[in-house]
Amino acid sequence: MAEQIFFFIFAVLAVGSAIAVVSFKNPVYSVLSLMVCFLQMAALFVMLRSPFLAVVQVFVYVGAVLVLFLFVIMMLDIRKARMDQFITGGNFWAIGLLGILIIEMILIISKSRLTSITVSSELRLDGGVREIGEALFTKYILPFEIVSFILLVALMGAIVLGRKELR
């Protein structure tokens, strides 16, 4: 019971802050809302009995990725950036797409078996760290390596783009 109350608090806050991300005019406020959203998602991971994923979420997304977002946004000219909102008025394509997405979501949710929000009460005393590590390095080793290779290529691309022109 208490768990469901907490679930609703986190879920509502997560959705609310996600809406705030796209509706704030000031990009710094958007990043802050995104931070709130990610923290709520970390809390949801805790409720799914996976504290390790929750902490990694905070570590990687809130602690590093969003700080870099802020870093870049602070370099922008805010008054100019305010002009480009995410949702501009009269964009019918976006509204149509939104409608399709909503219908799709309703269909998926109504067809799936995942409508109950009760979670298994099985407590993982080691935080699932061992299981995640074993799964990553045995069963899913190929996808894991491919993802890390893609990340490496992206990193190289960023360095090439960011480098000053050599004469």
Partner 1 sequence: MGQEEIRGLLPVLELYLSNPLVIMMLEILLIFIKVVVVTLVVFSLPLPLTYMERKVAGHIQVRLGPMRVGPHGILQPLADMIKLFFKEDIIPSKADPWLFRIAPVISMVPVFAVFATIPFGDKITIPFINYEVSMYISDMNVGILYVLAIAGLSVYGIILGGWASNSKYALLGGLRSSAQMISYELALSFACIGVVMIVNSLSLVDIVKAQSGWHWNIFYQPVGFVIFFIAGLAEINRIPFDLPEDEGTLGAGYHSEYSSMRFAFFMLTEYVAMVSMSILAVLLFFGGWNGPSFLPGIIWFVIKVVLCIYFFMWTRFTFPRYRYDQLMSIGWKVLLPLSLLNILITGLIII
> Interface residues with partner 1 (CB under 8 A)?
28-29, 32, 35, 51-52, 55-56, 58-59, 62-64, 67-68, 70-71, 74, 125-127, 129
Least CB distance from residue 74 to partner 1, whole Å?
Answer: 5
The Cα 139–Cα 133 span in angstroms is 10
Task: Compare residues 111 and 163 and give the one whose CB is closer to partner 1.
Answer: 163
Least CB distance from residue 107 to partner 1, whole Å?
Answer: 37
Least CB distance from residue 70 to partner 1, whole Å?
Answer: 5
The Cα 84–Cα 73 span in angstroms is 13
Task: Compare residues 18 and 36 and give the one whose CB is closer to partner 1.
Answer: 36
Task: Compare residues 18 and 73 and give the one whose CB is closer to partner 1.
Answer: 73
Return the SS3 of 111. helix
User: Which pair of tokens denotes residue 16?
Assistant: 């609310």
